[in-house]
């Protein structure tokens, strides 16, 4: 519209509503109906026609979770709508296929769950086969995250979550399948929070983590709550919120005790607590939590270990302790731990190897070992050049650049910092 100063997304939102002949009140009602039944009362109390007017006036964008449901009720793709106002009819196959290509599926092989799906309706039967396929998709997403990072993967995860929610709302299934669908929705929501965090979308991550905790409470799924609180603690450390990290990990540890959690779960949660104390600069509480984490880890894996602890191996334990030592300015210890961890990492965990190399380079720079810092940085940058896509990893490499900056008059350091700027801008 000529002379219209509203953002393009606001104009498109009103266009979509008017095309359906809806009033703002009807728009709000349709959005409420799109939310999963168990979340309608807790998540959307503020949703009314006034907020629809505000969106269409361009006063502020809908919050992250509202955007997904707005796109759902209009059957359009969320990304283009809120980026530049482009209205793109949704196509699940096209969405997932494009996202899969973006994260390098040609490298990891074709994924059968990216096949086309029939439109979901009351006649769509959901059984054991569908549940198994969705569970496999969840594991595939996690494996791609560990190898490539989640800068582009989060969009694929959002498509999977939307699909599961639509199955819950419209599919035909028995009580046992319903329970499994809700469990999958919780897992996808927590995973999507982690993907958003890895992609540097911290506000979005917190929304998904909060929704995952809501689901855990409503469905009485303490294992989902533990996993989500662990993720929230890790994010809090990166945001410099050590007290929050300790609070989240302590809450998770309480649930671990109530549910007789496995040793691997205890190890991870104690490690999260240690990271929070380290961020606060509290050496003694950090050392105590580290001791408990290693004691739990030394008991070995068990058949009933939750799948969200599968990444916790020897290199990861060393990396996490190395991060604690770095935050406590114990750089010599950090260098020893991180050097060992990086040497033991395999290709399947390339993103975490990149994080470890970044931490190693930072600790070495702080300790004045500039040759080691430049070497570790070079290896981390090679992973970025090879396709690793993680905002967290790039942020860590930029921190190395800042630590090396006082030494930029040295040729090798200058070359390294220039590469950092070129590859992480």
pLDDT band of residue 155 (cuts 50, 70, 90) is confident
> Which residues, in sequence order, are bridge partners of residue 66?
none
Of 362, 395, 392, nearest to 377 by C-alpha is 362
Q: What percent of the chain has pLDDT over 70?
A: 87
pLDDT digits (tens, 9 = 90+) for 210-235: 999 999 998 899 999 999 999 999 99
The rounded mean pLDDT for the chain is 86
Q: Indicate if the pLDDT at residue 207 is higher than 50.
A: yes
Mean pLDDT of the region 126-143: 90
Range in 25-29, 113-117, 148-152, 405-409 the model is least confident about: 113-117
Name the pTM for this structure.
0.75
Highest mean pLDDT among 19-33, 163-177, 331-345: 331-345
Q: Are residues 342 and 356 in contact, defined by beta-carbon separation less than 8 angstroms?
A: yes
Highest mean pLDDT among 2-16, 81-95, 237-251: 237-251
pLDDT digits (tens, 9 = 90+) for 355-379: 999 999 999 999 999 999 999 999 9
- Domain ranges in the chain? 8-84, 125-220
43, HSE (Cβ side, Cα atoms, 13 Å): 26
DSSP class of 115:
S
Kindly give, in sequence order, each residue whose CB lies less than 8 Å from that of residue 261, ignoring residues fewer than 6 positions away: 226, 255, 269, 306
In the prediction, which pLDDT does 107 show? 40
Residue found under tokens 């494009």: 98
CA dist 184 and 205 (Å) reads: 18
Of 392, 318, 311, nearest to 355 by C-alpha is 392
Q: Indicate if the pLDDT at residue 100 is higher than 50.
A: no
Of 310, 314, 305, 224, nearest to 263 by C-alpha is 305
Does domain 8-84 correspond to CATH entry 3.20.20? no
CA dist 184 and 186 (Å) reads: 5
By CB atoms closer than 10 A (0-12, 13-18, 19+), residue 377 is buried
């Amino acid at each position: 519209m000529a002379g219209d100063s509203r953002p393009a997304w606001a104009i498109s939102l009103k266009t979509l509503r008017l095309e359906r002949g809806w009033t703002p009140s009807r728009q709000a009602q349709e959005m409420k109906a799109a939310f999963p039944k168990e979340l309608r009362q807790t998540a959307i109390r503020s949703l009314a026609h006034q907020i629809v007017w505000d969106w269409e006036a361009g006063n502020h964008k809908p919050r992250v979770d509202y955007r997904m449901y707005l796109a759902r009720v209009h059957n359009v793709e969320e990304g283009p709508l809120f980026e530049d106002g482009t209205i793109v009819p949704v196509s699940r196959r096209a969405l997932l296929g494009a996202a899969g290509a973006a994260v390098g599926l040609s490298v990891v092989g074709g994924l059968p769950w990216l096949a086309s799906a029939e439109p979901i309706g009351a006649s769509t039967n959901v059984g054991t086969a569908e549940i198994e396929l969705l569970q496999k998709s969840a594991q595939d997403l996690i494996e791609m995250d560990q190898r490539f990072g989640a800068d582009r993967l989060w969009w694929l995860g959002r498509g999977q979550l939307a699909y599961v929610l639509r199955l819950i709302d419209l599919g035909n299934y028995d009580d046992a399948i319903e329970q499994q669908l809700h469990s999958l929705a919780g897992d996808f929501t927590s995973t999507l929070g982690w993907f958003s965090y890895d992609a540097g979308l911290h506000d979005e991550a917190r929304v998904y983590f909060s929704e995952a905790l809501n689901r855990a409470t409503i469905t009485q799924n303490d294992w989902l709550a533990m996993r989500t609180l662990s993720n929230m603690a890790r994010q809090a450390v990166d945001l410099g919120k050590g007290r929050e990290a300790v609070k989240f990990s302590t809450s998770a540890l309480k649930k671990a005790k109530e549910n007789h959690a496995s040793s691997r779960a205890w190890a991870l949660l104690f490690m999260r607590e240690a990271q929070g104390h380290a961020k606060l600069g509290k050496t003694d509480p950090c050392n105590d939590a580290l001791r408990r984490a290693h004691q739990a880890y030394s008991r070995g894996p068990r058949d009933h270990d939750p799948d969200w602890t599968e990444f916790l191996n020897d290199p990861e334990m060393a990396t996490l302790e190395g991060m604690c030592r770095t935050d406590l300015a114990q750089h010599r210890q950090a260098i020893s731990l991180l050097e060992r961890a990086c040497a033991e990492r395999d290709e399947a965990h390339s993103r975490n190897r990149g994080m470890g190399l970044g931490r190693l380079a930072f600790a070495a720079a702080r300790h004045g070992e500039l040759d080691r810092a430049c070497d570790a940085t070079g290896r981390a940058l090679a992973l970025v050049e090879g396709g690793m896509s993680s905002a967290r990893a790039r942020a860590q490499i930029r921190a190395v650049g800042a630590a090396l900056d006082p030494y930029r008059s040295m040729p090798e350091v200058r070359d390294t910092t220039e590469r950092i700027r070129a590859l992480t801008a």
